[in-house]
Amino acid sequence: MKTRPLGRTGLHVPILSFGASSLGQEFRKVTLNEAINSVRVALDCGLNLIDTSPFYGRGMSEVLLGVALKDVPRESFLLCSKLGRYDLQHFDFSPRRVAESIDVTLHRLGTDHLDILLCHDIEFVEMQQIVDETLPALRQQVAAGKVRFIGFSGYPQKIFRFILNQTDVDCVLGYNQYTLQNTRFATETIPYLEEKGVGVMNAGPFSARLLTNAPLPKWLKEPESVKEAARTAAALCTRRGVDIAKLALQFSLAHEGIATTIAGSANPENIKNWAQWASEPMDEQLLADVQSIFAPVMNLGHQEGLAKNN
């Protein structure tokens, strides 16, 4: 798997990383064997940066990931987890919870350190707390050797400048905004992040199944016009003999300013397909045709978090 540098961290990460949210049964029931096999296949395919969170499955993702990694040499993979979001409406970015959350995460994962630790979905809280309290507490954890690099994640583009105009972090994670249908992360934010020397991670190349042939989840918040365009684009890809998911993944992976794109599944066959797609050239004509379909709804998205943070 091709790698890229993650900002100034010194880490070289695979352009495609494994997202363990599915291990938390966020989308369907997952067996222990599925969880273990998915992780092992991901590592075998070179997806050796693994992303999780205590929010995913309310701890289940971290627990199953710890089981799957039990006998895997620690130096053979990188671990990224998060803190601050623990349920749909439960957020706690207090300094006291920082230390507690990291210790719980380390216990679940069966390791003594995290390579990356992110403040999770900061747009749902008063973000000044992240600057004044959470990140300073995280730096103490770095000094203690429990975490190597720190940052934050979220959806609205505003959050990146809000934090980074006041303080420094090592890396950030945006999601669902560098896709075939939405490139705001690249046009509005990535150049700014590059100037700051901040490592760029991207999640959600399939935009919560929007850019796949799978049924759309009921909770998907995108406008109906976006959903309709996605169905039209998927049908065109099918007629050309290509799964729209393949084009979507290849498009996200192609951006040189994005160190890694994170995709998750508890189905080992999906992971094998992704690794294969990552090694194949993208159909540029198909891409142009799909982008034409998305042109009328390009960059249309939804609101997320506190109104003033969007």
Active site positions, annotated: 56
**CB 227 within 8 Å of CB 216:** yes
> What is 72-106 written as a DSSP string?
S-GGG-EEEEEESEEETTEE---HHHHHHHHHHHH
* HSE of 20, CA atoms in CB hemisphere, 13 A: 37
Strands 85-87 and 90-91, by their bridges, are: antiparallel
**CB 281 within 8 Å of CB 34:** no
Burial per residue of 55-65, b for 16 or more beta-carbon CB atoms within 10 angstroms, e otherwise: bbbebbbbbbb
Say how far apart CA 276 and CA 273 lie, in whole Å: 5
Centre a 10 Å sphere on the Cβ of residue 292 and count the other Cβ atoms it contains: 11
Burial per residue of 140-153, b for 16 or more beta-carbon CB atoms within 10 angstroms, e otherwise: ebbeeebbbbbbbb
**CB 55 within 8 Å of CB 82:** yes
127: nearest Cα among 161, 98, 97, 171: 161
* Phi, psi dihedrals of residue 133, rounded to the nearest 5°: -125, -50
* HSE of 52, CA atoms in CB hemisphere, 13 A: 31
